[in-house]
Amino acid sequence: MPATTRPTSTGDSRPSGARPVPGADEDDITRLRFVLLRLGRRLRHEGPEGITPTQLSALSVVGSAGSITIGDLAAIEAVQPPTMSRIVAALELDGWVERVADRSDRRVSLVRTTVKGEEELERVRAERNAFLASRLARLTPDERAAVLAALPSLEHMLQEGE
């Protein structure tokens, strides 16, 4: 019957030990985890037609990098090289990128967008943000400001390493 999502609190608010994060209790973290998982899933599903979210993300990186190796691409996208290998293969199959052999190191193949790939990037530019924009639009100005204020922090949380 419930149509809306809700944090699945199963008693996390009880301080069951140390509090590792000053200012944030277990319940906060559980809620944050929940909302990030759900929003991530929605975003993956609400993307533009014709290209998968993973492909689009990789294509964007290729577009901004100009020319890039599979390995660097994998590192930027935070996936393993074989995974990126397959992603690029799919992009190439659809004619959005092309592979050119590196002149100085014949092991590497450089990836760059085709004209068609650039056009695709242009086409989906607004579309891929539409879902998020619509959800942002119905927030109050204060709420929106809070989300934008958290953006740098979230990006900081994404960085690898200690």
Q: Which residues bind DNA (CB under 7 A)?
A: 41, 44-45, 52-55, 69-72, 78-83, 85-89, 99, 104-109
Query: Closest CB to a copy of itself among 89 and 133?
Result: 133
Quick check: 60 and 121 in contact, CB under 8 A?
Answer: yes
> Can you tell me the distance from the alpha carbon of 160 to that of 162, in angstroms, rounded to the nearest whole number?
7
What span, in angstroms and rounded, lies between the C-alpha atoms of 80 and 33?
A: 24
Site string for a copy of itself, 28-67 (x = CB under 8 A): xxxxxxxxxxxxxxxxx--------x---x--xx-xx---
Both tokens of residue 23? 């200012």
Count Cβ atoms below 10 Å from residue 61 Cβ, excluding itself: 16
- Nearest distance, CB of residue 31 and a copy of itself, angstroms: 6
Give phi and psi for 109, each to the nearest 5.
Answer: -120, 125
Q: How far is the CB of 83 from a copy of itself (least distance, A)?
A: 12
Provide the minimum distance between the beta carbon of 97 and a copy of itself in the complex, in angstroms, as a whole number.
14
The entry of a copy of itself, DNA, none near residue 100 (CB within 5 to 8 angstroms by kind) is none
Q: Does 145 bind a copy of itself (CB under 8 A)?
A: yes
Question: Within its chain, how far is the Cα of 115 from the centroid?
Answer: 24
- Determine if 123 is a binding residue for a copy of itself (CB under 8 A): no
Q: Closest approach of Cβ 25 to DNA, in Å?
A: 26
Q: Measured between alpha carbons, how far is 6 from 30 in angstroms, rounded to an integer? A: 11
Query: With respect to DNA, which residue has the nearer C-beta, 30 or 57?
Result: 57
Q: Does 86 bind a copy of itself (CB under 8 A)?
A: no
Q: Which helix (H) or strand (E) holds 98?
A: strand 97-101
